[in-house]
A and B are shown apart, each in its own frame.
Chain A
């Protein structure tokens, strides 16, 4: 856990590349993308040390990072499980049984919504519309959408992540080559 908060050379080069796409002096624009990278690299959440590090990279005040990180729902300011299961709960998903999915997951993993399993593997969270209403009910794990859920599908999804041992996060999507 207590890995030093510092990006490696490759990631630092990527941060530079990100900063360079904005006009000079507007490097703060890179804040959200860099926070995504930091969250993915440092245990899936943003500690104040991580945020201070990002502030120093972008040459902005730490409070500017706290303000932003606490505003957006995808940034975790507290530790979460290796796999963050986010179940959509808004209208179309609700109308097609998302509450069943949440209850089932809670029972299956032995935790309540908002909690993390003892082994640190799963966290269940309900979230607002993820833009997948046509595939309702749906859930998201890391960067992956899982749609048209049935309870059998939920079983398979959980088993799958158990066997991989982690979610496909932003860093796994080969972002280094494409940004």
Chain B
């Protein structure tokens, strides 16, 4: 069993309540931070820990915190990004639903380090029931004096509220999230300025993912160095992986970074292998935006080394033969899966979620979806694969926010590794007619 930091007590009955959470040592980091540490010292520990943003980009958290501008007399904000909308990702929901206090504890400690009087959890609208769980937990924390005025008798006062979104993937992009929080359309802002300088209401703001903030209590309690010992290389600590697709045990797993991908897929501790003992065809390792890899490249790098669950190992080989850890949305596809049809679901997703502000993404995502749609319907044209390749290339890097890249990469990687399959669809539409390229619910029911 690997080291567990976030999910250690996940199966303790009542861990969602403040009482049980306290019995398991909860909120100790608030006490330690407020009573014995200077804010900058906490930032230092987080820097030392090597903790990287768990939302997908993997940016060093301590560094992000140290960029926060601190002009006199101006409010600062911490905003927790619980918009979790990257297909394949459901770890934050699991964490907030089961153990909401770990997030609240992390927020209080982090806000103390950043000097924020108010922090907010921006949660996607579809997770409405989770927002109720969080609000109940926040109410408990207020009642017990962990929130509100002069926490633990110190000068530090803090308020937290939960803001629900209303269905827009783009609000996971931090500046779109801030726009949404200000009651506007979720249109990403043009940067600079970055939120660290001008974020919510124009004030310096840090936006962090749920899992990132939930990791802070451990770092404060045990020190950054101790946290950095977990994991491998620059991939320190543990990571929540949302495992889904054609595996025997879908779910959220906390892994110590550095275990092999093979172990993660096939061991009973994690995914438990492929359904019905079928062969592995491909994996999307870090949420829909990251490149899809065929079985041979996800299990071993191009150099033949075992691929590990870490930022560095997953991206080994660049986009030519590697991928990214991303948000940890690990989607597994068996030999029956149609990569073309699967890509179509991704293209449809990005088309649906493009905000429409900038031309390459607004027009390009719809165009790609239309081409893929005609290919899966058996009406693909000979030049379609090259056209798709060219469109994604013209979107990538030319948009206001990363959604353009996120829409382009799945298309590029599917063509890169599975070009033959696309050509089969286009050249022999009769062969794909009436074939179901996914598991039917009947087949699953019998597993």
Q: Which residues from chain A sit less than 8 Å from chain B, CB to CB?
A: 21, 23, 26, 28-33, 35-36, 58, 60, 64, 67-68, 71-75, 89-92, 94-97, 99-101, 128-137, 140, 143-145, 149-152, 170, 173-175, 178-179
Shortest Cβ distance from B165 into A: residue: A32
| A72 in contact with B168 (CB, 8 Å) | yes
Annotate B347-387 by CB proximity to A: 1 below 8 A, 0 otherwise. 01100110100000000000000000000000000000000
A175 to chain B, nearest CB (A): 7
Among B124, B183, B329, B438, contact of A133 (Cβ-Cβ < 8 Å): B329
Q: Is the CB of B352 within 8 A of A128?
A: yes
Known: A131-B89, A137-B441. A90 touches B345 (CB 8 A): yes
Stretch of B38-46, B128-136, B147-155, B306-314 that contacts chain A: B128-136
Contact surface of B with A, Cβ cutoff 8 Å: 75, 84-90, 92-94, 124-129, 132, 135-136, 139, 159, 161, 163-169, 180-186, 201, 242-246, 250-252, 284, 288, 329, 331, 333, 337, 341-342, 345-346, 348-349, 352-353, 355, 438-445
User: Closest chain A residue to B203 by CB distance?
Assistant: A23
Chain B facing A: main interface SS: mixed
| List of A residues within 8 angstroms of B445 by Cβ | 150-152
Query: Of the candidates B127, B139, B184, B333, which one forms a contact with A28 in the assembled complex, judged by CB atoms under 8 Å apart?
Result: B184
Kindly report which residue of chain B lies nearest to residue A65, judged by CB atoms: B183
A95 x B349 contact (CB < 8 A): no
A179 neighbours in B (Cβ, 8 Å): 135
Closest to A129 in B: B87
Q: Does A129 lie within 8 Å of B85, measured CB to CB?
A: yes
Q: Are A95 and B126 in contact (CB under 8 A)?
A: no
**A97 is contacted by which of B243, B333, B439 (Cβ under 8 Å)?**
B439
Cβ of B376 to closest chain A Cβ, rounded Å:
11
Q: How far apart are B437's CB and chain A's nearest CB, in angstroms?
A: 9
Closest to B185 in A: A71
User: Which residues of chain B are near A58, meaning CB under 8 Å?
Assistant: 183
B50 CB to nearest A CB, Å: 27
Q: Are A30 and B342 also in contact (CB < 8 A) when A131-B126, A134-B251 are?
A: no
Given the complex of chains A and B, what is the CA–CA distance between A137 and B444 in angstroms?
A: 10
CB-defined contacts of A140 to chain B, threshold 8 Å = 126
Closest to A142 in B: B128
List the B side residues contacting A21 at CB < 8 Å. Answer: 159, 161
If A92-B331, A95-B439, A179-B135 touch, does A133 touch B244 (CB 8 Å cutoff)?
yes
Tell whether A134 pairs with B164 under 8 Å between CB atoms, given A68-B185, A91-B288, A174-B132. Answer: no
Q: How far is the CB of B92 from chain A (nearest CB, A)?
A: 8
Which residues of chain B have C-beta atoms less than 8 A from A131's C-beta?
84-85, 89-90, 92-93, 124, 126-127
Q: Are A133 and B88 in contact (CB under 8 A)?
A: yes
- Flag if B345 contacts A94 (CB, 8 Å): yes
Q: Hey, which chain A residues are within 8 Å of B89, CB to CB?
A: 131, 133
Min CB distance B383 to A, Å, is 26
Q: Contact at A95–B441, with CB atoms within 8 Å?
A: no
For B252, list chain A residues within 8 Å (CB).
Answer: 134
Cα of A106 to Cα of B89 in the assembled complex, Å: 28
CB <8 Å contact, B243 and A134: yes
Cross-chain contact B440 with A100 (CB below 8 angstroms): yes
Instruction: Look across to chain A and name the residue whose beta carbon is closest to the beta carbon of B125.
Output: A74
CB contacts (< 8 Å) of A36 on chain B: these are 125, 128, 164, 166
